[in-house]
Amino acid sequence: MSAVDTTTTQSRSSSAVATLQYEKGRSNLSRSMARLRRHRMALVGIGLLIFVFMFVLVGTLLIPESQSTFNMPSRALQAPSAEHLFGTDVIGRDLLARVVYGGQISLFVGVTAVIVQMFVGTVIGLLSGYLGGVIDSVLMRFAEAMLSIPQLFLALIALRIFSDPTEFPDFTFMGRQYSATMIVIVFVIGLTSWMRVSRIVRSVVLSVKEQEYITSAKSIGAGNWRIVLRHVLPNCFAPIMVSATLGVGSAILLEAYLGFLGLGVRNPTPTWGNIMGDANSYINQWYYWFFPAVFIMLTTLGINFLGDGLRDAFDPRSLR
């Protein structure tokens, strides 16, 4: 890393052409990434995330999916042993398999919910900031209205409305059966958490809108679409990346809370949250709730470390 730095600095001082190449070769993004690589906490975060991801991936390859739903009440609530490393749950399902396959769903829900959230938040933020006027005040009042209700309450209500099993039956994908609540929960989490993103995007748009290059783009006849997509949106990249990263953490936590209250993704699909929800009545059996909770914690911890690192890396004022 430092070797690359010194060579580029040397070539920078040698000639003007090299300076140009230096600026070209090291864009804002790559400089930010270099800062990220020096951020110790971010590296720990990436390490944690790789660990969780590998656990789920290797687990998926080693343990067949049927293990996570196969129940045998005669072996219910066994403490961890060589045979069942994480023990068994109340109807004798292997908890290791359930944590692995629940992890798939929790991570999937976390990431896709954030994609929905970022998409909606960015579109609303762009519209609101760029168009201004009545549209701006209507959209921002709406965002304010949604912010004044606890997200858990909103998500609970939305989840109940859209999780009618007759309208959204279980579906089969690649030979496995999933509960449709899994897809519903992605949209519920995404659509109840876009408000902060749209505010951030809006504020970036407002500050960029008055810049001279926007005026010059307008004067050469660029359309609104082109201006927004080519000149305004790239400026939102850094704040969107930071809030998307942190958003995955809060989406996974929200899914866990909903599952814990028994109102999240329904059986047969396991998630870290609904395993915890089942385990709530079996506090004495520590292994039942301990392992899914540890994985929720490791994931959110990794994401928070990484998000913090990204924030420092994208912030040009940051010293580290």
Per CB under 8 A, the segment of 30-38, 89-97, 100-108, 255-263 that binds other proteins is: 255-263
- If the CB atoms of residues 23 and 164 are measured against other proteins, the closer one turns out to be 164
3-class DSSP state for residue 88?
Answer: strand
The least distance separating other proteins from the CB of residue 257, rounded to whole angstroms, comes to 6
| 86 scored as a contact of other proteins (CB under 8 A) | no
Bridge partners of residue 94, in order along the sequence: 88
With contact defined as beta carbons under 8 Å apart, do 285 and 121 qualify?
no
Non-local (6+) Cβ contacts of 199 within 8 A are: 125, 140, 143
Neighbour count for residue 250 (Cβ, 10 Å): 21
Among 61, 82, 220, 283, binds other proteins (CB under 8 A): 283
| DSSP letter assigned to residue 73 | G
* Contact between 191 and other proteins per CB under 8 A: no
DSSP reduced 3-state for 315: coil
Contact between 156 and other proteins by CB under 8 A: the answer reads yes
Q: Which of 179, 198, 202 is nearest to 190 (CA)?
A: 198
- Where does residue 178 fall: left (phi above 0), alpha (psi -120 to 50 degrees), or beta otherwise? beta
| Binding residue (CB under 8 A) for other proteins from 160, 218, 226, 230 | 160
**Contact status: 304 vs other proteins (CB under 8 A):** yes
How large is the C-alpha radius of gyration of the chain?
A: 24
Q: By CB under 8 A, what part of segment 60-79 binds other proteins?
A: none
Residue from the set 161, 207, 234, 318 that interacts with other proteins by CB under 8 A: 161
Residues paired with 177 in a beta bridge: 172
Sequence-ordered alpha helix ranges (H) in 132-236? 133-147, 151-161, 181-191, 195-209, 212-219, 224-226
- In terms of CB distance, is 63 or 301 closer to other proteins? 301
Query: Does position 316 bind other proteins by CB under 8 A?
Result: no
Q: Work out whether 301 is an interface residue with other proteins (CB under 8 A).
A: yes
Contact window for other proteins (CB under 8 A) among 30-38, 209-217, 218-226, 279-287:
279-287
> Which tokens hold the place of 226?
């082109």
Quote the least distance from Cβ 82 to other proteins, whole Å.
Answer: 24
Q: Does 145 bind other proteins (CB under 8 A)?
A: yes
Residues that bind other proteins (CB under 8 A): 41, 141-142, 144-145, 148-150, 152-153, 156-158, 160-161, 249, 253, 256-257, 260-261, 276, 279-280, 283-284, 286, 289, 293-294, 296-297, 300-301, 303-305, 308
